[in-house]
Amino acid sequence: MSDALLDAVKNGIMSVDLGRQLRVGMPQSPNHPQFWHTLPRRHGDMVRADGGSAANDMITTGTHVGTHIDALAHVSQDGLLYGGADAGQSCLGGKYVEHGVHTIEPMIRRGVLLDAAGFLGQEVLDGGYEITVEDLQGCLAAQHVELREGDVVLIRSGWGRKFDEGTAYVGAESGVPGISEAGAQWLAEQRIHAAGADSIAFERLAPGGGHSALPAHRVFLVENGIYIIEALDLEELARQRTFEFTFVLVPLNIYGATGSPVRPLALV
Ligand code: UVW
């Protein structure tokens, strides 16, 4: 570690935790296997001669639960993955050898928060609200921030406040606010590296529509090779009005997986 970085750490680089706690019963997409956590061995089940004992537990989970990143292998269009890779042939022995989560480099990048809810003067945007390109541009201008190539852009709709309300967060009936195809196209033109949001499917979900159409996923994952991060906790960053920071994210190196739970940090 360089002296400058060591000094910064000692003198209080602050990190903001952008990840959700993983716990049984947390809201998650019905598209993905549920998070489950059990405790096969408790203290006292096996006691060593010296009186010591170890508890250990087990999780089973879909890779797209809690705060998570979508690998490019997560979505195909007409049988093709990003770069024209054949989705069928990219899967060998049940592993996406092409564009699996193991191909995502750890991220230490410039992060930008776009507080769309704050910009629009609302605590939480309405279910199904489309965050337009004009909203994104207006928000950047109001925050005095510009986007640069390679950025990680996090979009706050305020919907993350509903995480502890369970199914309300999933928004099957109400819809969920977020960007749509046009917003994704515009962000892709800014040549960003990844985009995230405080909602379950990153993009706008229409009321009553469930997860039946996800055009921003196609634009990012299939057409532009831009990663998507979902179910972020962006409340503290917004509260601090921290719009620029160092974004740190390391996916689990699961060979051939379509996604990974993550616990990203903003260093401010
Ligand atoms: C959803 O819940 C739709 O998330 P993902 O993009 O990980 O499938």
**ipTM surpassing 0.85, yes or no?**
yes
* Residue predicted with more confidence, 247 or 9: 247
Structure confidence by residue, pLDDT tens digits, 28-77: 998 999 999 999 999 999 999 999 999 999 999 999 999 999 999 999 99
Q: Is residue 7 predicted with pLDDT exceeding 80?
A: no
Our answer on whether the CB atom of 31 is closer than 6 Å to any ligand 1 atom is yes
Q: Is residue 194 predicted with pLDDT exceeding 80?
A: yes
Q: What is the predicted pLDDT for the residue at 211?
A: 76
DSSP per-residue string spanning 192-219: -SEEEESSTTSB-B-TTTTTS--HHHII
How many angstroms is it from 257 CA to the middle of ligand 1?
A: 14
Structure confidence by residue, pLDDT tens digits, 136-172: 999 999 999 999 999 999 999 999 999 999 889 999 9
pLDDT band at 8 (very low <50, low <70, confident <90, very high): low
CA 159 to chain centre: 14
Report which residue type is found at 188: A
* Residue predicted with more confidence, 3 or 179: 179
CA 164-123-248 angle, to 5 degrees, is: 65
How many angstroms is it from 168 CA to the middle of ligand 1?
A: 16
CA distance linking residue 145 with residue 157, whole number of Å: 18
CA distance linking residue 211 with residue 226, whole number of Å: 20
Tokens of 24: 């049984």
* Residue predicted with more confidence, 31 or 92: 92
Q: Is residue 192 predicted with pLDDT exceeding 80?
A: yes
The domain defined by 3-267 carries CATH number 3.30.750.200: no
Report which residue type is found at 200: I
Residues forming beta bridges with residue 134, ordered by sequence position: none
Q: Is residue 9 predicted with pLDDT exceeding 90?
A: no
Kindly give, in sequence order, each residue whose CB lies less than 8 Å from that of residue 167, ignoring residues fewer than 6 positions away.
27
Identify the weakest region by mean pLDDT among 81-85, 117-121, 206-210, 254-258. Answer: 206-210
Q: Which residue has the tokens 């057409």?
A: 223
Mean pLDDT of the chain, nearest integer: 95
**Interval 84-92 mean pLDDT:** 98
> How far, in Å, are 165, 166, 228 from residue 161 at the CA level?
8, 11, 20
Our answer on whether the CB atom of 203 is closer than 6 Å to any ligand 1 atom is no
How many angstroms is it from 6 CA to the middle of ligand 1?
A: 38
DSSP per-residue string spanning 66-110: SSEEE-GGG--BTTB-GGG-BTTTTEETTEETTT-GGGPPPEEEE
Q: Is residue 209 predicted with pLDDT exceeding 90?
A: no
Kindly give, in sequence order, each residue whose CB lies less than 8 Å from that of residue 16, ignoring residues fewer than 6 positions away.
236, 237, 240, 242, 245, 265, 266, 268
Identify the weakest region by mean pLDDT among 12-21, 178-187, 205-214, 222-231. Answer: 205-214
Q: What is the predicted pLDDT for the residue at 10?
A: 66
Assess contact for 70 and 100: CB atoms under 8 A: no
- Pick from 26, 32, 232 the residue to mutate for probing ligand 1's pocket: most ligand atoms within 8 Å of its CB: 32
**Interval 204-212 mean pLDDT:** 86
How many angstroms is it from 64 CA to the middle of ligand 1?
A: 6
How many angstroms is it from 139 CA to the middle of ligand 1?
A: 25
Our answer on whether the CB atom of 29 is closer than 6 Å to any ligand 1 atom is yes
Q: What is the predicted pLDDT for the residue at 212?
A: 75
- Pick from 26, 70, 159, 205 the residue to mutate for probing ligand 1's pocket: most ligand atoms within 8 Å of its CB: 70
Ligand 1 atom having least distance to the Cα of 29: 2
